[in-house]
Structure 1
Amino acid sequence: MILVACSSAPTVAGKYNIEQENNAFGEGAEKAVLDLRTDKTYDLTMGQLTLFEGNWSESAGVVSLTNGGGNMALTYKVDGNKLIPQKDGKDITFWRFAKK
């Protein structure tokens, strides 16, 4: 008897919290939740408040969001269970999203 196991690639879909250096976004920012859903929609919430929502995609280890603003990046490099924000192709190092 031969058993064949199929494994799917890890998905970036899931819920993430902000990790920040030196309170870059202010105290309590860690309570914000980025929810990348399997249907390729997302929202960023803080409690009952929706800060951003839209669609997301992933290609070649980079997650792209359709909406954002201010310090909210639109592209993120996948680094294990973390999403590292990028601007002009360079990593932003003072904050990141970490999968719950």
Structure 2
Amino acid sequence: MIQVRQALTQAGYHLVEEDDTRTQGLRVREVPDGAMVTWSGSDAFTALASDQHGATSYSLRAIVQVAVSGLLLHQGQTVTETADENALLVTAPDTQPTRA
């Protein structure tokens, strides 16, 4: 989990503390298989993005997930989208995840 946090912060991502439920943003939490990365956008960000032609909250989530997964894959991590598509499971290259 430390490598995931370091890679994201070095790339310029601002991480929200895991126990901070009021602040929107990117979170990394430890899970048995590795690290779980989730993102939630603020109402202001969603409103700003909705002014852009074709932007939806789903497309914004997809953009964030592609950027984060691309970075972590480049760092040698194994990244799997969860079944509900709301998070990324990050495991070390030699670790096989159980069902997310």
Q: TM-score, normalised by structure 2?
A: 0.27
* Greater percentage in helix: 2
**Structure with higher strand content:** 1
